Structure 1
């Protein structure tokens, strides 16, 4: 029977080309958001940012929920995939901050929540 040798200290290497492509993608995305805000489509751009912030927060919360269910049920089958929802749940504080910033900007800079202003909620 053969034995397996695992290198547990192996790390992912973020090469120069991957760094450059990531930075280019970030700059293109930031430029597209800026273009959306400075044109007549600023309401649509802000609504899309709000939707993506909600989506990001919900994905992170689903990872935390999955972990909680697996812990309460004492499930053993999920041991091989637990790192994925752990990574999703780890970014939950970042998602909450992003969501609060987007909602805060929406309350005070756009009329996306105009129905909240009428009732004196803000």
Structure 2
């Protein structure tokens, strides 16, 4: 298997169900911080902390217009994580298939036909 690293901060950031929900909401469309906070079972300061984790992992970016902060999903880190998962899944599926085949019984040889 080719050793291609993946940024584990993406997986760590997605490991929290509230942050995963934020990503799901942003996959639909950009949202303001207030809109996100209204969808989560946590306070606005809690939402801001989760957004900071997602931002440090490169998963979201924020833009400010006046007093409104809009959050945008950055899809490239998600695609990189998916690519890594696909490579890893493909590698291990092949390895496990090879292992299973090594335990398969050998076909028995057919006996030669007798001639009269």
Question: If the TM-score is normalised by the length of the shorter chain, which range does it land in?
Answer: 0.3 to 0.5
Tell me the TM-score normalised to structure 1 length: 0.33
Higher helix share: 1
Question: Whose Rg is larger?
Answer: 2
Higher relative contact order (CA 8 A, sep 6+): 2
Higher strand share: 2
Tell me the TM-score normalised to structure 2 length: 0.34
